[in-house]
Structure 1
Amino acid sequence: MVDTDTPRTEVAPDRTKRIAALWATLVAVPVTLVVGVIAFATIKPDDPEKSERTPVAIPSTPVVMDAPQLDERTSTVCLAVTSQLPVKIRDLPARAVSAGPEQNAAFGEPAVTVACGVPQPETCKVPDDATPGCVPMDTELLIMNNVCWWAAPGSGGATITTMDREVPVRVTVPESYENPAQWANEFSDTIVKTVKSKQAGTMPSGCE
């Protein structure tokens, strides 16, 4: 009897298993990377500057401000202004003032101050007018939220005064604050509600 060898059958590789193994390898690499990134983020120390940053302490002492005598009508308008001011502007809380709370206000440290009933800056008479404190004829006035402001030039902070109101309001912003005009603008809405605009033709041309 002759043994007949049964021909060997070559088993073809399982294509499905190979593809599955390949995908498992490809997926495993990014998952490992993601896990590593998460672990690094978890153990990474906090930014030292952020962790050491602390709020500015607000002194309990009042902010020193002058309180000149005002006439009856101006006093009434200024009382309306100060009574409508918010208890905080951005992150600056309101503070007590040394004099005239019915016409003055202060916020934060260093203090942003508001003074109502101050002298109205006058427009210079000629282009090269050297009169101290006059508003140059070619100056660019700031119209913000329907209030016309003039930012006086100078160092050591900004002095910004309304130019279009029957009763002037002045805001002083210490130099440590960025964009001082935007800090003054925090009070524009209150001024619009409480102080009437000057009549047309009586305010600087840059305000009309």
Structure 2
Amino acid sequence: MDEIISSPTAGAEPAEQTASTTARKPVGPTGKKPAAQTAARKPGWDRATRRAALVATLIAVPVTVAVAGFTFAKLAPDTPAAAPSPTATSARPQSTAPVEMAAPALAARPATVCRALMSQLPPSVRDLTQRPVTAGAEQNAAYGDPALTVACGGAEPAVPATGDVWTINKVCWYAAEEADATVLTTVDRETAVRVTVPRAYEQPLQWIAPFADAVVASVPSAGDTPAGCTG
């Protein structure tokens, strides 16, 4: 008995092929395309997207620049501090020109004493440095600008009964006020020593100590001492 094999009907597609075809061509319930796909193709969508991206870029760029500037400012080295301005305690500018001083002739003994005194004077007093003099370097000295001067030799001043005398470092000084300076002269030494302190220097008695030390070291005491001088 012959075996009969039935063949598929002509023109019919296999089930798998039909399913595949159906998957590639989805159709909605009403025969229209899905809403999502339709929305993706709405007119103006690309323009709106580009505009939003441009706005975001315009906002992001200034923020990035600001952050970069802030970071640079933090990492940059600090600005060097300004140089301090001169203060009242700074050394004052001083002339180095010779100071004009008189040099009267001295007898042998006073001349010897004065040379000894000049050798004992300090090179500077506070911030005043010693300057050359126009005459009598063996009996005169000057410091600073305006010049504080030291003159050795000459007669002692006559001290009035009401005159001020001061004992500074074991030396007795008579203080006389002039228009532009205070003049202090020893009144208890063999040879008189005169120190002129310009008004520019306050409290003139406080400038005398270094000179008093030099006087003690080089100028002998006199026998007669004015009343009021002690020590």
- TM-score normalised by the shorter chain: which range applies? 0.5 to 0.7
Query: How far is 1:49 from its partner?
Result: 5.5
TM-score (norm: length of structure 1)? 0.67
Provide, for residues 21-40 of structure 1, a one-character-per-residue CA deviation record: whole Å limited to 9, x for no partner: xxxxxxxxxxxxxxxxxxxx
Residue 112 (structure 2) aligned to one of 60, 66, 76: 76
- SS for the counterpart of 1:181 is helix
Q: Is the 8 A contact 1:165 1:197 kept in 2?
A: yes
Q: Is the 8 A contact 2:91 2:127 kept in 1?
A: no
- SS for the counterpart of 1:186 is helix
Percent of pairs with identical residues:
45
CA RMSD of aligned residues (A): 2.3
- SS for the counterpart of 1:148 is strand
Residue 190 (structure 2) aligned to one of 166, 172, 186: 166
Partner of 1:157 in structure 2? 181
Provide, for residues 68-122 of structure 1, a one-character-per-residue CA deviation record: whole Å limited to 9, x for no partner: 0000000000000001111111111111000000000001111110000032102
Partner of 1:197 in structure 2? 221
Give the number of aligned pairs.
152
- SS for the counterpart of 1:187 is helix
Q: How far apart are the structure 2 equivalents of 1:95 and 1:71?
A: 25
In structure 1, runs of 5+ residues without a counterpart are 1-41, 123-134
Partner of 1:25 in structure 2? none
Show structure 1 runs of 4+ deviating over 4 A.
42-49
In structure 2, runs of 5+ residues without a counterpart are 1-78
The question of 1:103 aligning with 2:139 is answered: yes
Q: How far apart are the structure 2 equivalents of 1:180 and 1:161?
A: 12
Q: How far apart are the structure 1 equivalents of 2:188 and 2:133?
A: 26
User: Do the aligned partners of residues 205 and 54 (structure 1) sit closer, same or farther apart at CA in structure 2, a change above 3 Å counting?
Assistant: closer
Partner of 2:67 in structure 1? none
> Which amino acid in the other structure matches residue 102 of structure 2?
D
Q: How far apart are the structure 2 equivalents of 1:86 and 1:54?
A: 21
Q: Is the 8 A contact 2:151 2:193 kept in 1?
A: yes
- SS for the counterpart of 2:173 is strand
TM-score (norm: length of structure 2)? 0.60
Larger Rg computed on CA atoms: 2
Q: How far apart are the structure 2 equivalents of 1:187 and 1:44?
A: 42
User: Do the aligned partners of residues 65 and 206 (structure 1) sit closer, same or farther apart at CA in structure 2, a change above 3 Å counting?
Assistant: same
Residue 180 (structure 1) aligned to one of 204, 208, 222: 204
Q: Is the 8 A contact 1:163 1:207 kept in 2?
A: no
Query: How far is 1:190 from its partner?
Result: 0.6
